[in-house]
Amino acid sequence: MVKDRFFRGPELGQRTSRKKCWTTRRTVRFREEDEDLDILPFADRAEAGLMLASKLTAYSGRHDAIVLGLPRGGVPVAAAIASALKLPVDVFVVIKLGTPWKQELAMGAVAEGGVQVLDLSLMKLLGISEQEMREVVAAALKKLESHISAYRGGRPPLELNGKTVILVDDGIATGCSVLAAIAATRRDGAARVVVAVPVAPAFGCSAIRMEVDELVSVAEPEMFLSVSQWYRDFAQVSDEEVQRLLQKAESSMPRAA
């Protein structure tokens, strides 16, 4: 298991985990549920969430469990899970750190509270300097605070200390975002961290399992090009849709203490 190595950046003053996101494919598998591939693709994120909920029934109605969706795509999945299991749901904001010249290529991520995960191997391979990294992180931190304000609208976040936290996304690609979320929820005192995703590459799941108490998925295909290939409807989720889902969930169930 790769240990977290934290440091405080002399300029940004943020707590950072220098942990490698996966960048190469491996053939390690931890389960033999190939029959799950027969149900793919999912109709949409809501259907994927309901399928995940059927695998998370052990947490149904528990007072010590909460669901956190990673925006934007993870929120519709999380909302479906929370509704089915009668659990409180909230957003947990994570911003990917794109390389200076190609934002789509993730070299890490920053999560609520300023927790960062950096892919040092990729940064070294691409020749990204410490100063370039700091500039990208500084911009991401501003974006992080803006998204937190927009999604919650002044509402306080759910209390994580002592809780079982179910982190949800619509899939896993590089793993940077979910690794940052795991580190951040651990720092905030989560007693147990469960990652729940409809689909993720088999090689990626093996890495995530080393970092969490439990990983729950519907399918873990060996051949994995992108998250979108496993959905019939993978329309972009808007900020307004995230807000609507969170408001609907709050009105239908009391928030956790």
Q: pLDDT tens for residues 157-203?
A: 999 999 999 999 999 988 899 999 999 999 999 999 999 999 999 88
Q: Which two three-digit tokens encode residue 24?
A: 């190469």
pLDDT at 19: 54
pLDDT at 27: 30
Residue 186, CB-side half-sphere exposure with 13 Å CA sphere = 17
pLDDT above 90: residue 211: yes
Distances (CA, A) of 131 to 35, 93, 100: 47, 24, 11
pLDDT above 80: residue 229: yes
φ, ψ (nearest 5 deg) of residue 120: -65, -35
Taking residues 227-240, what's their average pLDDT?
A: 94
Domain, as residue range, for 122? 6-252
1 domain-assigned? no
- The residues pairing with 99 across neighbouring beta strands, listed in sequence order, are 102
Q: Which of 33-37, 57-61, 194-198 has the lowest mean pLDDT?
A: 33-37
Mean pLDDT estimate for the chain? 85
Instruction: List, as one string, the DSSP characters of 128-187.
Output: --HHHHHHHHHHHHHHHHHHHHHHHTTPPPPP-TT-EEEEE-S--SSSHHHHHHHHHHHH
CATH no. for residue 127?
3.40.50.2020
* Domain count along the chain: 1
Is the omega angle on the peptide bond into residue 10 within 30 degrees of 0, that is, cis?
Answer: no
Q: Which residue is associated with the tokens 């220098």?
A: 18
pLDDT above 80: residue 21: no
pLDDT at 140: 96
Q: Which residue is associated with the tokens 């060996």?
A: 222
pLDDT at 30: 37
Taking residues 243-251, what's their average pLDDT?
A: 90
d(CA 217, CA 256): 25
Taking residues 54-68, what's their average pLDDT?
A: 97
257 domain-assigned? no
156 domain-assigned? yes
d(CA 16, CA 176): 13
4 Cβ neighbours under 8 A, 6+ residues apart:
17, 19, 183
d(CA 133, CA 99): 8
pLDDT above 50: residue 33: no
What confidence tier does 29 reach under pLDDT thresholds 50, 70, 90? very low
- The residues pairing with 115 across neighbouring beta strands, listed in sequence order, are 111
What is the pTM for the complete model shown? 0.84
d(CA 178, CA 250): 24
